[in-house]
Amino acid sequence: MRKGLQNLENAENNSYKIIAVDDEMGIVDSLSIFLKRTGYQFTGVTDPMEAVERVRNEHFDLMILDFIMTPYHGDQVVEEIRKFNKDLYILLLTGHKDLAPPLETIKRLDIQGYCEKSDKFDQLLLLIESGIKSIKQMNEIKNINNELKDTYEKLEKAYLESIETLRYTVEAKDIYTRGHSERVAEYSVLIGKKLGLSDDDLKLLHLGGLFHDIGKIGVPDSILQKDSKLTDDEYSQIKQHPNIGVHILSNASIFKDILPMVEHHHEKYDGTGYPSRLAGNDIPYLARITSIADSFDAMTSKRSYRDSLPMEKVISEFERCRGTQFDPELDDLFLDIIKNDFSSIQKIMQK
């Protein structure tokens, strides 16, 4: 039976085309053996400029790219590719973490991830599997957008259905987070109403809350469900979920206004958050609201590694993180809701 499942998985992998670029033929050969055994369609190239032309003239779903190559480094190759192809999912290989390109370059060129070279390919395979999940979801949304763009009504219907499907897919990965996105959406709207925001902003807060964690579809289940402390590499993969979420949703124009919330709900007011280390008012306003709602639900929900926190502890955490993790004005407003309008929060908590 296990062999049958493996054959089925390999058959599914065979629909995805991967191109690897490395100026060391030995690395290309090793990747060829490894990935073909896993079922992927594989193309190996040692000449960086040949790789650019192959991508220009053929369809590939994912690229594995060495950073230090001659005569062109990996970031130069990506620079050329991004001029005509914005969709290719790119994983960068480095000989050492210290040799990786700066974060600004990775973000600007939309490189989805990188890992160190190793004799074993376990870490790379995890990144590839995460990438393929993201590509699959992105393609599904593209298909919905292309097939139903003839009328707004059909697109709106498909959009609402896709929200539920994708949200349930993410939350089904971990029983402890079921209902999380819906509660974050409702807490966000509650804060927005207290602020007197417009109906359009309240709608965006609701949709942003529902979709804020959609990028976790690209994080391995073994990491999401781990009941002990994450390793640095595992935490690095978790931190990719805002970028993965944006990558998934950015191909459908109907999602464009919620992308700032999806991308920046883990930024911190003092600039120590991720993925962009934005600070203060540089963090999109609605994302600052989503951050508070997300953190509150995380604190008040049971997890595999701890029980829900008592409300006095939650209050002390929001007081402690005022102006560091959270916008101080929004923090004050939310603390006021907890202390003086707790019944409105309690209704959401019970869902």
Active site residues: 216
Q: Is 276 in contact with 225 (CB distance < 8 Å)?
A: no
Distance CA 32, CA 345 (A): 54
Distance CA 29, CA 231 (A): 30
SS3 string of 179-202? CHHHHHHHHHHHHHHHHCCCHHHH
Distance CA 192, CA 47 (A): 53
Q: Across-strand partners of 44? A: 20
Residues 6+ apart with CB under 8 A from 74: 21, 48, 65, 66, 67, 68, 92, 93, 101
Distance CA 210, CA 189 (A): 11
Distance CA 191, CA 300 (A): 17
* Structure-token match 């999940």, residue found: 133
Q: Which amino acid is at 27?
A: I
Distance CA 129, CA 133 (A): 6
Q: What are the backbone dihedrals phi and psi of residue 303, each rounded to the nearest 5 degrees, phi first?
A: -125, 165
